[in-house]
Amino acid sequence: MKHKFNVVIIGGGVIGCAIARELSRFQIKTAVLEKEPDVGMETSCRNSGVLHSGINYKAGTLRAKLAVRGNAMMDEICAELKVKIKRIGKLTTALSLDEMGGIDRLMKQGAANSVPGLELLDRTAMQQIQPGVEGIAAIWSPSSAIISPYGLTIALAENAHANGVGFFLKCEAASVAKNAEGLFEVRSSDGEIFEAEVLINAAGLGSGKISAMAGVPAGNNGESLKIWPCRGEYYVLDRRLEGTLKTLIYPVPGAKDAGLGIHLTPTVDGNILIGPSADYIPEESPEDYKVTAPVLEDLRREGQKLLSDIKMSDFIRNFAGCRPKRTSPSEGGNGDFIIEEANSLSGFINLVGIESPGLTSAPAIAEMVRDLVSNHLPLDEKKDFIAERPGFAGHFCELPKEEQERLVKEYPEYGEIICRCEKITKKEIRDAIENPLGARSLVSIKYRARNGMGRCQGGFCTPRIVRMLRDEYGFAPEDYLLREAGSSLFSGNVREGEND
Amino acid sequence: MIREFHDLVIIGGGPAGLAAAAAAKEAGCRDILLIERDRVLGGILNQCIHDGFGLHAFKEALSGPEYADRFIQKVRALEIPVMERTIVLELSPDKVLRTSREGEIKEIEAKAVVLAMGCRERTRGALSIPGHRPAGVYTAGTVQNLVNLENIMPGKRVVILGSGDIGLIMARRLTLEGAKVEAVFEVLPYSSGLQRNIQQCLDDYNIPLFLSTTVTDIYGPSGSLEGVTVAQVDESRRPIAGTERYIPCDTLLLSVGLIPENELTREAGIEMNGVTQGANVDDCCMTATPGVFACGNVLHVHDLVDFVSMEAARAGKNAALYAAGKLERAQRAIAVTAGDGVRYVVPQRITRGEDISLAFRVTAPARDKTIEVRCGERVIMTRKETRLHPAEMVWVELGTINLDEISSLEVSVR
């Protein structure tokens, strides 16, 4: 089947979804093609969930400019889209005198990047922000914040969807070509054809491949568009430790480091993350999200060094994500984002190497891409653009008690708890199951409702949700997916014809 | 905010809560509320369709639902009010509960509370098993629920990590339903399940049990489990290089321990025990917070439900007395401690001294040992045992003891 759009975006990560939402303000038809059964399933859901201030990026780079701009845009976006954000600030700490050079360099860089509110703190001032923190001095960057990265991605996508963007899930681009009329034709692996005037490559880990597929092997300045996947592993700690970290604490990064170093990050939902590690993995399998024994051991040790109160029972889960880096293991460090319309292919907008601070930069990248799109399409604003997403930010159990009691009368299912650890209600599970994108895997429900993210890791809620999907949504055993297309949960019924 | 008042509120309608409720009513408590979060009473027994329950309590081999039903009938006959599909969101130290069910959130103030919330399973995350995180990795109890209550089969080729009782039971259950159970692997040099379950669930079905062996890698790059790597471990439980072998499978069951579910207990600020992961209690099953009692798997993980019922009856009776103002204030508290060869003892203190029974677990398997209960150098009781095992709880009955003559108790195995 042939689908006609003005703009097609390949990739439903936070970047693709932010662009989709930005373009949905205008009277054009936009589609997002995502190879997974939901948006935000790769890099966008597998990171620290930190909005960076912008001090870490070389002045004049896109990373510096877009991080500072994107960070500043987030409060309004989160308010509109009902996404939890906490401006907890960050201390970049110097442990000894020889790290003061690094502090000085970052302060200057931050000033050059117009990062708001930077202060150089001495030991006493550091202690006031985070009692017990190590170090002799620190940079305080108050605009640093935490956010749910998948929560933001889903919110952007659902709002874009409400404003008419077409989301095609489980839709992997197999070929890209321009047809006789000069329109792009993207063919999916199951034979669908998407036609568009403008094609946007926001494929993250797959962006190098998509660019090559489109016949654009290099950037406009001859840069390599090869993606070097660099895996980061994390631990998730129990909410028992909620509140022990008042702010983000990072070491001064070395210039050659692939990431910002192993650190502790509180999440908006009250967990703490330890990580990420940084290990380059073979480029043929950029989505190999396994965790490894030596790295886990490292993370446990580093974590316990940073926070001595961590007990073995606090490690409730681990996961891994992957940075789509432009720099090879031998180069180290980071390359700048590539965000440009290819000189050699009119209407093909390439976004390559959007690693950290991609999450922070997403809304600013979306504006930049919008301006590139406007060279090809008239962007007239819609009169009926819906800026707000319905509902409330966060979870029912976080609402004030009076508000809970009022809502439970209006929606009785707010009274029924499905996930005991995180106190997630049946109404929230139902809203997640009935999400507008039609994503129905257990992880899709979990990323929306937060069930199964507590200390029992779904032991309690999984059978309840399985039952709900069967009884109320007609699921057969083969319909249950954990996450991706191949992740079938069950082999069948125990006995046929015995469901009652 | 709606606020109700009750003499006694019991949190949890599993075997512990049911027995506590019945005993409380029989002890004269007329205003009891039993709160259950599921649709029906019975707790975890509802998914335990195998038999072997009640051998001590009823001298019969009952299935889990049959065992539960005995108590449910009793609770019905005693006309004890039950609030199903209700979860307790909060418990305050002064015994005010915040409950939630469809259409209603309310507060309940109680004179006495019995904690009977049971336990939950340890997960893969807690073990930090390396590898992918594909579909097909479950805790054994979750699969027991899916298979026995929801008619859902997880897979066809199964590996089980951990020789806890639920894993052993599920090895047999899945075999009976046509799955191939490749093996059970246990990281410890001995099994963590009951001996009778090893015999009846593994040996009788030729399912091998490998001790001192663990899963070192989970393989499932495309999203569903394809196999696991297992390896032998040394004395400090670290994998021994060169002993790895890969086993193709589509399901990995974890039966690696149970954890008392004490979120409410902790939030209420009730004194906890680091070893049992339950509250510290006295011989009335009362916690350090006056009027709050605990029993069953929320107090310490039991091996047999019969003993849960027995312990819960004690908690229920004393909670009823407390609510009626008839449980006299303790004049003193004698500490009960774990000595050589003993991991923990419940109760942790004795305040009344009547009809004392101590429950404990040993630290390692042992043969031909003597259990000794001492007060300082004075031996209070000894008992010879031919076989002791960490998987099996040991009970010692001391009868009534005079607290004036005893300053402390230590249980040891020599």
Q: Which residues contact A309 (CB under 8 A, 6 or more apart)?
A: A241, A244
Q: Which residues on B lie below 8 Å from A408 (Cβ)? A: 100, 103-105
Start-to-end Cα distance in chain B: 57
Which tens digit of pLDDT belongs to each residue from B355-402?
A: 999 999 999 999 999 999 999 999 999 999 999 999 999 999 999 999
Torsion of CA B155, B160, B161, B162, to 10 degrees: 130
CA pseudo-torsion sign A273, A278, A283, A285: negative
Task: Quote the CA–CA distance of A77 and B135 in Å, as a whole number.
Answer: 34
- B362 within 8 A of B390, measured Cβ to Cβ: yes
The minimal CB distance from B155 to the residues A318, A413, A491 is found for A491
Q: Which residues on A lie below 8 Å from B216 (Cβ)? A: 293
Question: How much is the pLDDT for B328?
Answer: 84
Q: Which residues on B lie below 8 Å from A488 (Cβ)? A: 135, 224
| A219 CB neighbour count, 10 Å cutoff | 18
Q: What is the token pair recorded at B186?
A: 């246990």
Considering just the CA atoms, what is the radius of gyration of chain B in Å? 22
Question: How much is the pLDDT for A68?
Answer: 98
Question: How much is the pLDDT for B330?
Answer: 83
Q: Decide if B132 touches A, using CB distance below 8 A.
A: yes
Question: How much is the pLDDT for A307?
Answer: 86
A416/B101 touch (CB, cutoff 8 Å), yes or no: yes
Q: Which residues on B lie below 8 Å from A286 (Cβ)? A: none
Question: How much is the pLDDT for A457?
Answer: 95
Q: What is the token pair recorded at B291?
A: 């009027």
Torsion of CA B335, B336, B341, B342, to 10 degrees: -120
ipTM of the complex: 0.95
Closest CA to B252 of B325, B334, B174: B174
Which tens digit of pLDDT belongs to each residue from B120-142?
A: 999 999 999 999 999 999 999 99
Question: Residue A406 pLDDT > 90, yes or no?
Answer: yes
Question: How much is the pLDDT for A140?
Answer: 98
State the nearest Cα–Cα gap between A408 and chain B, in angstroms. Answer: 5
B150/A466 touch (CB, cutoff 8 Å), yes or no: yes
Least confident stretch, A119-123, A494-498, B169-173, B218-222: A494-498
For residue A437, the one-letter residue type is L
Task: Quote the CA–CA distance of A39 and A156 in Å, as a whole number.
Answer: 10
What residue in A sits closest to B98 (Cα-Cα)?
A: A401
Chain B residues 242-281 with CB within 8 Å of chain A? 250, 259, 263
Partners of B5 in beta bridges: B109
The rounded percent of chain B whose pLDDT value lies above 70 is 100
In this prediction the pTM is 0.96
Considering just the CA atoms, what is the radius of gyration of chain A in Å? 23
Question: Residue B270 pLDDT > 70, yes or no?
Answer: yes
The minimal CB distance from B120 to the residues A460, A462, A467 is found for A460
What average pLDDT does this structure show over A18-36? 98
A405/B105 touch (CB, cutoff 8 Å), yes or no: yes
Residue B151, CA distances (Å) to A497, B68, B201 in order: 10, 21, 21
Task: Quote the CA–CA distance of B298 and B263 in Å, as a whole number.
Answer: 10
Determine which helix (DSSP H) or strand (DSSP E) holds A235, and give its type and residue range. strand A228-237
The minimal CB distance from A463 to the residues B145, B155, B222 is found for B145
- A17 within 8 A of A202, measured Cβ to Cβ: no
Question: How much is the pLDDT for A499?
Answer: 56
Largest Cα–Cα separation, chain B: 68
Sheet architecture: strand order including B342-346: B342-346, B356-362, B394-399
Q: What is the DSSP letter of B131?
A: B
At residue A332 the predicted structure's pLDDT band, cuts being 50, 70 and 90, is confident
Q: Decide if B105 touches A, using CB distance below 8 A.
A: yes
Counted across chains A and B, CB pairs separated by less than 8 A come out at 144
The minimal CB distance from B103 to the residues A289, A409, A492 is found for A409
Which tens digit of pLDDT belongs to each residue from B231-246?
A: 999 999 999 999 999 9
Q: Decide if B240 touches A, using CB distance below 8 A.
A: no
What residue in A sits closest to B141 (Cα-Cα)?
A: A459
Q: Which residues on A lie below 8 Å from B132 (Cβ)? A: 288-290
Best A172, A410, A482 member to test B by mutation, with max B CBs in 10 Å, is: A482
What average pLDDT does this structure show over A290-297? 96
Which tens digit of pLDDT belongs to each residue from A410-460?
A: 999 999 999 999 999 999 999 999 999 999 999 999 999 999 999 999 999
Q: What is the token pair recorded at A368?
A: 């930049």
The minimal CB distance from B221 to the residues A288, A319, A455 is found for A288
Q: Which residues contact A74 (CB under 8 A, 6 or more apart)?
A: A51, A85, A145, A147, A360, A363
Question: How much is the pLDDT for A110?
Answer: 98
Task: Quote the CA–CA distance of A233 and A319 in Å, as a whole number.
Answer: 6
Task: Quote the CA–CA distance of A71 and B269 in Å, as a whole number.
Answer: 40
Task: Quote the CA–CA distance of B137 and A462 in Å, as a whole number.
Answer: 12
| A270 CB neighbour count, 10 Å cutoff | 16
State the nearest Cα–Cα gap between A401 and chain B, in angstroms. Answer: 9
State the nearest Cα–Cα gap between B252 and chain A, in angstroms. Answer: 12
Question: Residue A255 pLDDT > 70, yes or no?
Answer: no
Question: How much is the pLDDT for B329?
Answer: 82
Active site (annotated) includes residue A52: yes
Question: Residue A500 pLDDT > 60, yes or no?
Answer: no
- A109 within 8 A of A59, measured Cβ to Cβ: yes
For chain A, percent helix, then strand, then coil, each to nearest 5? 35, 20, 45
Task: Quote the CA–CA distance of B352 and B350 in Å, as a whole number.
Answer: 6
- A56 within 8 A of A106, measured Cβ to Cβ: yes
| B377 CB neighbour count, 10 Å cutoff | 5
Which tens digit of pLDDT belongs to each residue from A163-196?
A: 999 999 999 999 999 999 999 999 999 999 999 9
